[in-house]
């Protein structure tokens, strides 16, 4: 069961932060962008990120949709339980449903009357990278209450087969070079250099939220190490052929492509039947930053 502070529905320049509480008392944080329009949208970030990563897309969506962006457990301002199984895919998916319901993005009441089963309210679920895997699992849990599943550069592949790596090898690819983590200035400079044209105050806020500054001035990832490892293990256990066929909603996948490179991400995966694919050219995996217009269009598509 989930409970939440009522965040209200008015759109603001900056989102409010709220939590839902899920059994056995874990708090899952989400950013409420407000907005209006059905279906509502729940946005799920990728590994070592937070809901702030979705800011460029949320700013575009909020004029037409009710929008919330959650922090996965172990990330951002959500709790990071150490229990065995706390980061299993079904648990992460249930967190998404709790945020959808607790935030009001999935509105099961219209004009004060409960919606009948045959008139069930619905929500769009969109995820980036690892968040796409969580979004797919959440869509299966929601059933007819999900009106569209949007996979952003993730969710189509068996990661182990696609990368040829094991969990430990993949975790090492997430390590930041010491020179990048030596100071906040070095870290922000590195992030800006990825694509200066898309760097702005929103990107800096999201970047700062991804790290913690130690008293010595060096940085460490804000995502708790045990949570990051557990999420990567869950990602490696994901089999799209076991999950995506059970999604009742239409599925749209936005993939990064680079001219001359058939699979720039290395984990794009094959496209299951019935999935509509949008290929975009981008300098990196973070399509939320590099191609927010295309991501927004995929979420709003009918």
Quote the mean pLDDT of the chain: 90
What pLDDT is attached to residue 3? 40
- Taking a C-beta distance cutoff of 8 angstroms, is the pair 41, 124 a contact? yes
What pLDDT is attached to residue 116? 43
Q: Is the pLDDT of residue 10 over 60?
A: no
Q: What is the pLDDT of residues 144-187, one digit of tens each?
A: 999 999 999 999 999 999 999 999 999 999 999 999 999 999 99
Q: Which helix (H) or strand (E) holds 99?
A: helix 89-103
* CATH top-level class of 3-163+238-300: alpha beta
The answer to whether the predicted template modeling score (pTM) of the entire model surpasses 0.85 is yes
Paired tokens of 94: 């249930």
Q: Grade residue 302 by pLDDT with cuts at 50, 70 and 90.
A: confident
What pLDDT is attached to residue 259? 57
* Integer CA distances (angstroms), 113 to 107, 108, 110, in order: 11, 8, 5
The 10 Å Cβ neighbour count of residue 126 is 28
Q: Which helix (H) or strand (E) holds 68?
A: strand 67-70
Which positions ≥6 away from 299 have C-beta within 8 Å?
Answer: 41, 57, 61, 65, 124, 126, 148, 150, 252
DSSP for 222-238, please give it: SS-HHHHHHHHHHHHH-
Sign of CA dihedral 103, 64, 16, 221: positive
Q: Grade residue 114 by pLDDT with cuts at 50, 70 and 90.
A: very low
- 């993949």: which residue's tokens? 170
User: For 264-287, what is the mean pLDDT?
Assistant: 81
């Amino acid at each position: 069961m989930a409970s939440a502070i009522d965040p209200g529905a008015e759109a603001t320049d900056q989102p409010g932060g709220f939590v839902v509480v899920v059994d056995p008392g874990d708090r899952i944080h989400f950013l409420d962008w407000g907005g209006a329009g059905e279906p509502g949208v729940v946005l799920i970030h990728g590994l070592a990120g937070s809901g702030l990563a979705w800011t460029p897309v949320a700013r575009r969506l909020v004029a037409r949709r009710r929008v919330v962006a959650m922090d996965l457990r172990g990330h951002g301002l959500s709790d990071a339980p150490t229990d065995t199984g706390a980061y299993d895919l079904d648990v992460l998916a249930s967190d998404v449903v709790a945020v959808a319901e607790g935030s009001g993005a999935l509105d099961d009441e219209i004009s004060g009357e409960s919606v009948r089963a045959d008139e069930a309210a619905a929500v769009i679920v969109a995820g980036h990278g690892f968040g796409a895997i969580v979004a797919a699992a959440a869509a299966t849990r929601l059933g007819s209450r999900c009106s569209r599943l949007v996979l952003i550069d993730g969710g189509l592949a068996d990661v182990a087969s696609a990368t040829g790596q094991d969990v430990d090898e993949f975790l090492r690819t997430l390590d930041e070079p010491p020179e990048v983590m030596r100071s906040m200035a070095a870290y922000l400079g590195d992030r800006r250099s990825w694509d200066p044209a898309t760097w702005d105050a929103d990107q800096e806020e999201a970047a700062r939220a991804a790290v913690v500054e130690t008293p010595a001035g060096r940085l460490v990832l804000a995502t708790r190490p045990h949570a990051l490892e557990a999420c990567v293990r869950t990602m490696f256990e994901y089999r799209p052929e076991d999950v995506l066929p059970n999604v009742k909603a239409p599925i749209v996948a936005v993939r990064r492509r680079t001219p001359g490179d058939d699979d720039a991400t290395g984990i794009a995966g094959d496209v299951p039947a019935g999935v509509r694919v949008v290929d975009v050219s981008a300098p990196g995996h973070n399509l939320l930053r590099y191609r927010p217009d295309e991501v927004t269009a995929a979420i709003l598509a009918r």
